[in-house]
């Protein structure tokens, strides 16, 4: 039914990003698929998990912008920003499982989830400054609220990737796990029983 994601529906619904060959970089179609899947389960799920199998998301698919006119490029950024707000306003908790690359728009989406479970191998960052663009999903606004002004400035102004332990120390992730998928399932199952 969806081209860019797989959806497992239930009390705990799981959205798997499936553009692994592209590091789960975000396109307009993928953003629409995520939103539509969340709409599909909003009346039945008690918790939603979003994740990639090897990478969460390395951010926006920069290659798509070569083929987009300015109006479509603006539409992509607007839709990505709307998806981040949608996560924050969703009617049940959203858990993100962060593994591999969690960069740019991928990090911004995770910032809008309620609980972030991180693998030890994750690399997180806001690298937009390295390519001369602004964070398209409000990361420059959200990040300081999550980890504080100075740490956010460090990440935004250097574009440097940080490891899972640093992200945990910063307060950017809630849990580090050897098995983040199963840890997220454990947490989501507890939430589903309580709602």
Domains of the chain, residue spans: 5-194
pLDDT at 69 over 90: no
Residues annotated as part of the active site? 108, 128
Percent of the chain surpassing pLDDT 70: 89
Q: Name the residue among 73, 105, 108, 74 with its Cα closest to residue 88.
A: 108
pLDDT, tens digit, 9 for 90 and up, residues 89-120: 999 999 999 999 999 889 999 999 999 999 99
Q: What is the SS3 assignment for 40-92? A: HHCCCCCEEEEEECCCCECCECHHHHHHCCHHHHHHHHHHHHHHHHHHHHCCC
Q: At what angle do helices 149-158 and 139-147 cross, to 10 degrees?
A: 140
Lowest-confidence range among 55-64, 90-99, 170-179?
A: 55-64
Residue 75: what pLDDT? Answer: 76
In CATH terms, 5-194 corresponds, of 3.40.1190.20, 3.90.226.10, 3.20.20.70, 3.20.20.370, to 3.90.226.10
pTM over cut 0.85: yes
């Amino acid at each position: 039914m969806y081209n860019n994601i797989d959806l497992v529906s239930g009390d705990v619904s799981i959205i798997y990003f499936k553009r692994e060959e592209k590091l789960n970089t975000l396109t307009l179609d993928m953003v629409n698929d995520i939103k539509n899947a969340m709409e599909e389960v909003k009346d039945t799920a008690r918790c939603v998990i979003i994740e990639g199998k090897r990478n969460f998301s390395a951010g926006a698919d920069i290659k798509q912008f070569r083929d987009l006119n300015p109006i479509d490029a603006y539409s992509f950024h607007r839709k990505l920003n709307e998806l981040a707000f949608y996560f924050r306003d969703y009617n049940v908790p959203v858990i993100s499982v962060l593994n591999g690359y969690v960069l740019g728009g991928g990090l911004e989406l995770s910032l809008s989830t309620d609980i972030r479970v991180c693998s030890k191998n994750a690399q997180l960052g806001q690298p937009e400054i390295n390519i001369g663009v602004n964070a398209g999903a409000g990361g420059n606004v959200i990040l300081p609220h999550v980890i504080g002004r100075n740490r956010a400035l460090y990440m935004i102004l250097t574009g440097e990737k940080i490891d899972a332990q640093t992200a945990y120390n910063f307060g950017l992730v809630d849990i580090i796990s050897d098995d983040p998928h199963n840890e997220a399932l454990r947490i989501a199952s507890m939430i589903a029983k309580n709602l």
